[in-house]
Amino acid sequence: MTPEDPTQHFTALFPGDENEIQRKVIAARGVVYGEPHRSHENIGLAWTGLIQQHYGIALAHPIPPWLAELMLASFKIHRSARVFHADNFVDCRAYLSFAQHGQENPGVPYPK
């Protein structure tokens, strides 16, 4: 018995070229998690609280959404170093796209 191709299920759900796949995934996840920068802002706030509590320090300001997005992209890169899963690459591109948009357009929601 051979292991299942990790991309098989993913490509069946989201057929198309890389940009089209990314748009479909962002739209599908937006329905579940809401507007990306708002969600990532909340993740940054949670991480800020955890870091401050753990180290007994006060950060100068909360982790901004674009930095949380870069950290999430880094997480996907580290996962990809262990095993191939197409979803990691789609997510990484999406997080980098969010971070780029957030740095170029502070406070502006990601376009749908």
Average pLDDT on 63-89 reads 94
> Where do the structural domains in the chain lie, given as residue ranges?
16-104
What is the pLDDT at residue 15?
55
Count CB atoms within 10 A of the CB of residue 26.
Answer: 19
Q: Is the pLDDT of residue 74 over 60?
A: yes
> Considering only 41-50, 63-72, 87-96, which range has the smallest mean pLDDT?
87-96
Quick one: tokens of 89?
């690459």
4 — pLDDT class (breaks 50, 70, 90): low
Compute the distance between CA of residue 29 and CA of residue 94 in angstroms, rounded to an integer: 11
- What pTM did the predictor assign? 0.79
